[in-house]
Structures are given as C-alpha cells and as structure tokens.
Amino acid sequence: MDQSEITILKQHLIDPEICIRCNTCEVTCPVGAITHDSRNYVVDATKCNLCMDCISPCPTGSIDSWRTMPRVKAYSLEEQLGWDELPPELSADDLAAAGASMADVVDAQPHDMPLAPATQDEAFRSAVYGATVPPWSAAHPYTNLYGPKQQAKTLAATVTGNVRVTKVGRDNDTHHIVLDFGTTPFPLLEGQSIAVVPPGLDADGKPHFPRQYSVASPRNGERPGYNNVSLTIKRVLEDHHGKPVRGVASNYMCDLQVGDKVEVIGPFGASFLMPNHPRSHLVMICTGTGSAPMRAMTEWRRRLRQSGKFEGGKLMLFFGARTPEELPYFGPLQSLPKDFIDINLAFSRVPGQPRRYVQDLMRERAADLAPLLDDPNAYFYVCGLKAMEEGVVLTLRDVAQAAGLDWDAVGGALRREGRLHLETY
C-alpha cells in the first residue's frame, strides 16, 4: 500500500506523567523528531520514522507510548506541549468516523509510518555506539517502584548526611547527600538513578517536575547494611550560557539539613550497569557530577576487594573538571591504592596551564586503552556534560584505528554487547 493512502497511523507519544525530563530521548533520536519546552518532551509525527532508537535508553518507559490516530488528526507539537497526561485512545466509532476501516486499524503498525527525509549528513554520531543493553553479568535491576502511576506515588526519605565535596567557592558548590529509606525496600544498583520531587509549585502553579540524580553509592548503601543512598549534586547558579539562574532542585537539595524529608521516585535505569563477572575491566570517563555512578562502581569493587570475594580486573578513571577545586571527591580519590585503580585527572581552566580534557588523557593512554577496546571483558562508561560525548567516542575510534582495529567491528561490538554506555546531559 502506498504510504499516502494509509489513513491511520500509530502515533509515537511521550507520557508526561512518567517522564522525568532526563533528555535521553532527544539526544538519542537520529532524525531530530523529539523536542521539549519548559514542561514536556514531545514527538513530531512528521519527522518520527519509528526507528525505536529512543525506546530502550528511556529510564522510565514514558517514551514507549502510542495512540492509533487518523493521519490528518495526528496530535501536533502544540497540543502535546499542553498536556499533563496522555489523551485516551480513540474509540472504534471515532476511527470509523474518520473514514478508517478495521483493516486500516490493524495495519497501523509503526513500520507503516513514512520515512522522514534525511536531516543529518554522514557526520560522526557518537550516540549510535551507546549500548542500550546491560553487561551480560550485571545484576537484575528494579525500576519504577515508586512514581506518578504507582500505587505509592512517592517515597519519603530522610536526610542523614549533607557535606560539601568540593573546596569552598561560589561556582563549585557540590554536595554529597545521603538519604535513608527506613524500612521501605528500595533496591538500587550502581549506574541507576532516582528522582527528587522538589516541594512547591512552578511559575504556572503546577507541581515541579522530578529531577533525576545518579546514585553515588554501591548496592549495599552508602553505609553498608543500611537502607540508604548517596547522591552527588552541584548547586546550579547559572545556565550553560553563563546567565544567572537558580536551579530549583539543586539548591533545594544542597540546602537540606539532617532530619529533613525528601520525596523521591524511581529507581530508574536498566542498562548503565556494571558487570559482575570476575576479571571484568572498567574504564570510567566522567566530568563533574558525572562522577556519581563511577564512585558507586569503584566503591563496590573496593568493598569486594576488601572482603576477598572478587577477583577484579582493571579499573581506569578519566576524570575532568575546570580546576582541582571543582573536582568532587578529590581528597578520597588520592587515598585509593594505586594497584586498585588507575586515576587520570584533566583540568581545563587552571591559570597558566594549557587546557586539558579527558580525551587528551585518553590519547596519552592509547597503548593501554586499545587492548581493552578489543577485550570482550572490558566495559566503558561515559557520564557528564553532553559536550564531552562526541570527543570521547571519537577518541575511542581513533585509538582503535591507530592500533589496527576495525572500528566498525569494535564499535558494533561495544553497543551490541553492552560494553559502551553513554549517559550525558
């Protein structure tokens, strides 16, 4: 059937009640079909080609939403941006009134959407190499135990710790915050995240959206044997363009006192997980608060090593910040044994010194990284600002090619085998 003759389509939508605005879908979409405003993430039906690239990475499942619609009445971006919840499915009578036969409805599958014209050239796209599946030996994650559509919508956690983990300074105020869940089960793994629901209303008089934060503690808690979690949160005082702004959730969290209550939802994430099989290697590449999942993974391996229960592989860390003063956990990093973790620090704004980024350090360590790229037991994790992602993956490609490896084969294996995980924002 000619695509223009199809009167019904399976329209791809995002559930605003579940979406936590992590931006994963927008940066993953290869055709630019997903956009957002201050409240909602939405899908443009005229661009979406139903490639499904955005489905697996979504931590909440909000992206996996559909409505059978007459093509001429597909929901516009303007309509979607105004939603607080998804509209109900159209009834069979509604569809019949639009001139659709039952055969049209049955045939309205995602692959029947017309392909969008190419909107990108052949430029390198780092996102296509990011895995959407976890390592084969990763522990089973639990997700969406608490959230807008669950019977228990949120979970009240108690603040049991709030300490600064950067040196004192207005522009580098990063906190390590510990939340305790009491007797309520809330299982978490390294690489997962939770979301905090800031109190109060936004400028439109609506409840604030939840804000997502990566877990910074290992699976048995910040304090082993306790039902708690730690987060790494930087106080936001300006936007990415340097304009003054006061981040709603970050300032709320950084100002919390011990004993305060915090509403959380989650857990989220089923792919950015660490391997559990012996001799598996971890290469962790991060900037700023992107260090949170790396701290969790490192601490879990450290505890296993202490107990003698794990025959661990290599741990390499490439950690970037503007200055040493802005690097979270700088002190604790220095105390980790050199035979346990290989630490490489890059600083881009130290007066009188050249700017250095994590990819510069990676190129310097190419001789060590190349064998790991070719090793099925080595896993790569990238977390931090979106601007770093392309440079890091390009560097991996260059390292592979310089070592005589076929990047197409290596890059495909990294994605297919859950060995390269990208979590940037």
Summarize pLDDT for 154-200 with one digit per residue, the tens: 899 999 999 999 986 666 799 999 999 999 999 999 999 999 999 99
Q: Are residues 159 and 191 in the same domain?
A: yes
Is residue 362 one of the residues assigned to a domain?
yes
Phi, psi of 281 (to 5 degrees): -105, 145
Q: Are residues 408 and 288 in the same domain?
A: yes
Q: Are residues 227 and 310 in the same domain?
A: no
Is residue 147 one of the residues assigned to a domain?
no
At residue 104 the predicted structure's pLDDT band, cuts being 50, 70 and 90, is: low
C-alpha pair distances (Å), 137 with each of 11, 22, 270, 306, 376: 36, 26, 13, 21, 12
At residue 60 the predicted structure's pLDDT band, cuts being 50, 70 and 90, is: confident
Q: Are residues 183 and 303 in the same domain?
A: no
Burial class of residue 398, CB neighbours in 10 A (0-12, 13-18, 19+):
middle
For residue 88, what is the domain's CATH number? 3.30.70.20
Q: Are residues 107 and 234 in the same domain?
A: no
**pTM of the complete model:** 0.86
C-alpha pair distances (Å), 236 with each of 245, 250, 277: 7, 6, 38
Q: According to the model, what pLDDT value does residue 101 have?
A: 55
Whether the pLDDT of residue 299 is over 70: the answer is yes
- Judged by average pLDDT, the poorest of 229-233, 276-280, 315-319 is 276-280
Of 268, 286, 310, the domain-final residue: 268
> DSSP characters for 78-136?
HHHHT-SSPPPPPPHHHHHHTT--HHHHHH--GGGSPPPPP-S-S---GGGGS-SS--T
Is residue 57 one of the residues assigned to a domain?
yes
- Judged by average pLDDT, the poorest of 233-237, 301-305, 313-317, 391-395 is 233-237
For residue 165, what is the domain's CATH number? 2.40.30.10
Residue with tokens 């909440």: 60
| Structural domain boundaries enclosing 369 | 128-139+271-424
Q: Are residues 314 and 411 in the same domain?
A: yes
Q: Are residues 91 and 44 in the same domain?
A: yes
Is residue 149 one of the residues assigned to a domain?
no
Q: What tokens were used for 342?
A: 């290989």
Q: According to the model, what pLDDT value does residue 424 have?
A: 87
Q: Are residues 85 and 135 in the same domain?
A: no
For residue 366, what is the domain's CATH number? 3.40.50.80
Q: Are residues 280 and 417 in the same domain?
A: yes
Answer for the pair 329, 165: CB distance below 8 angstroms, yes or no.
yes
Beta bridge partners of 244: 238
Whether the pLDDT of residue 111 is over 50: the answer is no
Answer for the pair 186, 155: CB distance below 8 angstroms, yes or no.
yes
Whether the pLDDT of residue 210 is over 70: the answer is yes
Residue with tokens 């035979």: 339
At residue 241 the predicted structure's pLDDT band, cuts being 50, 70 and 90, is: low
The Cα–Cα gap between 157 and 169 comes to: 28
The Cα–Cα gap between 34 and 81 comes to: 12
Burial class of residue 367, CB neighbours in 10 A (0-12, 13-18, 19+):
exposed
Is residue 306 one of the residues assigned to a domain?
yes
| First-residue to last-residue Cα distance in the chain | 41
The Cα–Cα gap between 174 and 247 comes to: 13
Q: According to the model, what pLDDT value does residue 425 have?
A: 80
State the pairing for strand pair 281-287/211-214: unpaired
Average pLDDT, the chain: 88
Q: According to the model, what pLDDT value does residue 68 have?
A: 87
Is residue 349 one of the residues assigned to a domain?
yes
Q: Are residues 403 and 286 in the same domain?
A: yes
What is the sign, positive or negative, of the torsion defined by CA atoms of 34, 37, 42, 48? Answer: negative
Of 240, 268, 296, the domain-final residue: 268
Helix/strand/coil percentages in the chain, nearest 5:
25, 25, 50
Whether the pLDDT of residue 24 is over 80: the answer is yes
- Average pLDDT rounded to a whole number, residues 236-260: 85
Considering its fold, how many domains does the chain have in total?
Answer: 3
Higher pLDDT residue, 301 or 68? 301
Answer for the pair 370, 402: CB distance below 8 angstroms, yes or no.
yes
- Average pLDDT rounded to a whole number, residues 27-38: 88
> DSSP characters for 187-246?
---TT-EEEE--SSB-TTSSBPPPEEEEB-S-TTTTTTTSSEEEEEEEPP-B-TTS-B--
Q: Where is 248: in which H helix or E strand? A: helix 248-254
Q: Are residues 309 and 415 in the same domain?
A: yes
Is residue 292 one of the residues assigned to a domain?
yes
Is residue 383 one of the residues assigned to a domain?
yes
182: left (phi over 0), alpha (psi -120 to 50) or beta: left
Of 236, 268, 300, the domain-final residue: 268
Q: Are residues 104 and 132 in the same domain?
A: no
State the pairing for strand pair 155-164/174-180: antiparallel
Q: Number of helices (H) and strands (E), helices first, in the chain?
A: 11, 15
For 366-424, what is each residue's pLDDT tens digit? 999 999 999 999 999 999 988 899 999 999 999 999 999 999 999 999 999 999 999 98
